[in-house]
Amino acid sequence: MCDQKYINSYLNNLLTEDVPKTTRLMIANLNDYGKRAIVNYHDPYSNFHKHADIVINIHTFGENAEENTSLFHYTTINSLNSILESGYFRIKQANFMNDPDEFQWASKLAIAYLKKYGATTEEIKKFKQMIENQPFHDAYIWSFSKNNDSETLFHVYGGNEGIALELGEKDVMDMLSSHNSHGKNSLDQFALGDAYTFPLNVLYDAQKQKSYIEPLVQEWLDAYRGLRKDPDDMTEILILCSKNIALFNMVFKNPRLFHEEEFRFVSLRKNDGTVSPELKINGVPYINCEFVPKYIQSVTLSPVCNVSLKEVRAVIKRYKLSADVRNSKLPY
């Protein structure tokens, strides 16, 4: 956090004669919170600036999916049969995932830091409102791992029918993009019900999460407290902070869940603030995405799978697929 001497020096260098006099006077009349927010926003060496570039952050946690990197979806042989028979894969809405903190973990961390910095009840309420107003109400998650032989994932998602389906990252992205765009060739043409898709690496490391969240929370609080005197600049900062927290909610998960080693595809449907699924089963919303069977590169059977290699190979042969079928190399 920069000291007052540095703030004053930086502002003197920033507010040259080229800056309109009204702007210089407005910033000069800001309280210390607002001045610090302005400096951290513009100073490329500030901790905030290093962690708040939304484009850089998207590239840091995302992938362009141009390479067909191997990904593994842990499921059951029964689910594989259902996918192949129907020709569809159901992708669950984020609010109905196993993790109760799904799409909320970064917000929970941020609120803890707001309290640490002495934020009032009203300030915390406003922070929550700004995050909730981000257009990510209708999000769907298809989970994978880059670990091809995980004892934990076999157990959690497969039990005694556990298998790991190997798919290529580009192939998955192509399936989702094709389905979610509904035939539109440009993002500019997207309307309600169309969805943007992001391939994202989940971050579990608590210290790295802190390095992103803490400076953003401090900046958000400073900007909010300087809002009255400079609404334009402070609103711009508040929106940038909120967008980043919304992104981090998609990427950050409870460090205790590190064993999931998750790589995820998040589909964000354009919406009017409500959840409008393509399909509902027992009250749970889904995207019902067309599945391309030939994209299955291999099927690995859990060490405790009660279905034989012969039976799984028969399923693969029935659908005229060339996927390799093999046993896990895990001892148990």
Q: What is the per-residue pLDDT across 255-280, written as a single tens digit (0 to 9) for each?
A: 999 999 999 999 988 877 777 888 99
Question: Does residue 137 belong to any structural domain of this protein?
Answer: yes
Residue type, 224: Y
Q: What is the per-residue pLDDT across 6-41, written as a single tens digit (0 to 9) for each?
A: 998 989 888 888 888 888 889 888 999 999 999 999
Length of the chain: 332
Question: Does residue 44 belong to any structural domain of this protein?
Answer: no
Please give the pLDDT value at position 1.
Answer: 59
User: Confidence class of residue 111 from pLDDT cuts 50, 70 and 90?
Assistant: very high
To 10 degrees, what angle do helices 21-28 and 32-42 make?
120
Question: Does residue 51 belong to any structural domain of this protein?
Answer: no
At which residue do the structure tokens 């930086």 appear? Answer: 10
Please give the pLDDT value at position 118.
Answer: 96
Question: Does residue 200 belong to any structural domain of this protein?
Answer: yes
Residue type, 283: G
Q: What is the largest CA-CA distance in the chain?
A: 80
Q: What is the per-residue pLDDT across 222-258, written as a single tens digit (0 to 9) for each?
A: 999 999 999 999 999 999 999 999 999 999 999 999 9
* Mean of all residue pLDDT scores within the chain: 93
Q: Which domain holds residue 249?
A: 62-327
Report the C-alpha dihedral over residues 155, 156, 157, 161, rounded to 10 degrees: 30
What distance in Å separates the CA atoms of residue 99 and residue 254, rounded to the nearest whole number? 9
Residue 211 Cα distances to 10, 101, 102, angstroms = 23, 20, 20
Please give the pLDDT value at position 28.
Answer: 87
What distance in Å separates the CA atoms of residue 47 and residue 123, rounded to the nearest whole number? 22
Give the helix ranges, DSSP H, for the chain. Answer: 4-14, 21-28, 32-42, 47-51, 54-61, 77-86, 105-116, 121-132, 151-158, 169-181, 206-225, 231-251, 309-318
Mean pLDDT in residue range 176-188:
85
Question: Does residue 50 belong to any structural domain of this protein?
Answer: no
Mean pLDDT in residue range 102-107:
94
| Total structural domains within the chain | 1
Question: Does residue 6 belong to any structural domain of this protein?
Answer: no
What distance in Å separates the CA atoms of residue 168 and residue 292, rounded to the nearest whole number? 12
Question: Does residue 304 belong to any structural domain of this protein?
Answer: yes
Question: Does residue 23 belong to any structural domain of this protein?
Answer: no
Q: Which of 49-58, 132-141, 167-176, 301-310 has the lowest mean pLDDT?
A: 132-141
Q: What is the per-residue pLDDT across 193-205, written as a single tens digit (0 to 9) for each?
A: 888 899 999 999 9
